[in-house]
Structure 1
Amino acid sequence: MALGLPPLNFKPHCSSTSTFSSSSTNYRPAVILPGLGNNTGDHKKLEFTLQEYGVPTVVAKVSRIDWLRNAAGLVDPNYWKGTLQPRPVLDWYLKRVDDAVQEAEELAQGGKLSVIGHSAGGWLARVYMEEFGLSHISLLLTLGTPHLPPPKGLPGVIDQTRGLLYYVQQHCKKAVYTPELKYVCIAGRYLQGARFVNDSKVAVESMATIDDDQQVSDVAVVKNKTDSTPVSTTFQARFVGQGYKQP
């Protein structure tokens, strides 16, 4: 399962709520999906910011203790084989997503919705769209979501999702950017791990690749250009382990 990341804080750049209430612009409702270990309250600031801009917002109702339900996967042999599937282990989360989507659909009054997935909530949104349909969704925005599974055959690399991301890659629709549906991915910082008992240096670099035969109407790529400079390995990097990077 993807690591739970701290909720992202967005500061509204607006003078007052009344500025937007007087506007004739109608924004499509947004549904926020919490990441692993996060709860509904962690995303209150984001919800408030969107509402300040006039975007009706619904956050899926998830508590921290709810995530203990995932322990049911431990009794599934596929967990230990690394071939775990989202259902039925994550049915409880998909139900919370569906409840939030239905609430947002009432606000949309027949219009489209935006889905915002934080961390694991991003790829779980893709599972939801595959299982429940996506005709009512026009935007999937993911924040710090690992969309690709870890590479196989590398020593020290462990699939924390126990096969879930491999399932998403094989069975869920690829990213698109069309008038009907847009995928927008926002990534943040990452920590590249290192061997725990080795004095190796960690090279910090950025790399993004696009390898998809699916037609894409428009793509925007933003790259943070930095010099690849070896730095001393920290205990935190060793604790994380021999990590990998995901675009």
Structure 2
Amino acid sequence: MPLPTVILPGYFAGAAEYLELQQSLVGLGFPAVTVPVRRRDWLPTVGGRSIVPILRLLDRTVKQVLQQYNASQVNLIGHSAAGWISRIYLGEKPYIIHGDVMEDAGLWFAHPSVTTLVTLGTPQYSLYERWTRKNLDFVNNNYPGAFHPNVHYVCVAGKAIFGARRPGQLLAYNSYKLTCGTGNTWGDGITPVEAAHLEGAENLVIEGVMHSPRRVGLWYGSPEVLPAWVPYLK
């Protein structure tokens, strides 16, 4: 039987936006649960502050799923910023850089419980977005690349919009430039392809896929897109 799968929504997204993805995974035979994040749960994290409130929700959900399904491991899917938040969750280093929790908080060191981490449109680094630098530096300084050998990392990038300084492409241009330093490149409209991948991971590029479930058109969780990455789940 496939392992249960936990979905962590992207930044400022609520669990309801991932219901279709959750139901699609269940239909494919994967017991799936979305971390019950509400948009207001992200408010304490604004401005590059601690993401401990999200780690608490993620940890609680993973432990509940392990117990519910009598499983020793889960698949973990992180969309957008949830991908690098999941990398914090996997790691051994105490995430105490904001001074809001103690070293014994127990909101990390989860890699023994995660067999596969799938990141969807995750900016794995950001060169010029100052609000995320402190958190992302913590991730990449401590856990570079596909860091944990016991975890299968699958990093999925969408190739839908080429960034340019013209109507329809300007948002992508500005977002790509903040992230990787180059606006004239391909990505999902928010995350450039090159920033969505990790060294040593199973790195995928899917044509025509947009960043968010709120956008018109295909996104990573659309039923038509799932065959490109779901087979990598355990």
- Using the size of structure 1 for normalisation, the TM-score is 0.59
Residue of structure 1 in register with 2:152 after alignment: 182
- Provide the secondary structure at the position in 2 that maps to 1:32: strand
Cα distance, 1:110 vs. partner?
Answer: 3.3
- Provide the secondary structure at the position in 1 that maps to 2:158: coil
CA distance in 2, matches of 1:117, 1:124: 8
Instruction: Please list the CA deviations of residues 180-234 of structure 1 after superposition, one character each: whole Å capped at 9, or x if unmatched.
Output: 320001112462239xxxxxxx74458759895xxx5xx6555689xxxxxxxxx
Unaligned runs of 5+ residues in structure 2 are: 92-107, 162-171, 176-182, 188-192, 208-234
Per the alignment, do residues 182 and 102 of structure 1 end up closer, same or farther by CA in structure 2, a change over 3 Å counting? same
The answer as to 2:87 corresponding to 1:110 is: no
Residue of structure 1 in register with 2:40 after alignment: 65
Cα distance, 1:122 vs. partner?
Answer: 0.6
Match among 137, 140, 146 for residue 169 of structure 1: 140
Bigger proportion of residues as strand: 2
**Post-superposition, which runs of at least 4 consecutive aligned residues in structure 1 deviate over 3 A?**
202-212, 219-225
Residue of structure 2 in register with 1:34 after alignment: 9
Match among 116, 119, 136 for residue 80 of structure 2: 119
- Provide the secondary structure at the position in 2 that maps to 1:148: coil
Number of positions where the alignment pairs a residue of Structure 1 with one of Structure 2: 167
Per the alignment, do residues 205 and 109 of structure 1 end up closer, same or farther by CA in structure 2, a change over 3 Å counting? closer
AA matched with 2:154: V
Match among 146, 154, 175 for residue 123 of structure 2: 146
Does the Cα contact within 8 Å between 1:29 and 1:107 map onto a contact in 2? no
Cα distance, 1:162 vs. partner?
Answer: 4.0
Per the alignment, do residues 41 and 149 of structure 1 end up closer, same or farther by CA in structure 2, a change over 3 Å counting? same
Does the Cα contact within 8 Å between 1:35 and 1:120 map onto a contact in 2? yes
AA matched with 2:123: P
CA distance in 2, matches of 1:162, 1:208: 17
CA distance in 2, matches of 1:109, 1:93: 24
Residue of structure 1 in register with 2:220 after alignment: none
Per the alignment, do residues 60 and 208 of structure 1 end up closer, same or farther by CA in structure 2, a change over 3 Å counting? closer
Cα distance, 1:54 vs. partner?
Answer: 1.5
CA distance in 2, matches of 1:48, 1:34: 15
Percent identity of equivalent pairs: 27
Does the Cα contact within 8 Å between 1:34 and 1:62 map onto a contact in 2? yes
Aligned Cα root-mean-square deviation (Å): 3.0
Does the Cα contact within 8 Å between 2:154 and 2:202 map onto a contact in 1? no
Cα distance, 1:38 vs. partner?
Answer: 0.2
Does the Cα contact within 8 Å between 2:146 and 2:198 map onto a contact in 1? no
CA distance in 2, matches of 1:45, 1:60: 14
CA distance in 1, matches of 2:148, 2:88: 18
Cα distance, 1:133 vs. partner?
Answer: 2.5
Greater gyration radius: 1
AA matched with 1:148: Y
- Using the size of structure 2 for normalisation, the TM-score is 0.62
Match among 94, 111, 136 for residue 55 of structure 2: 94
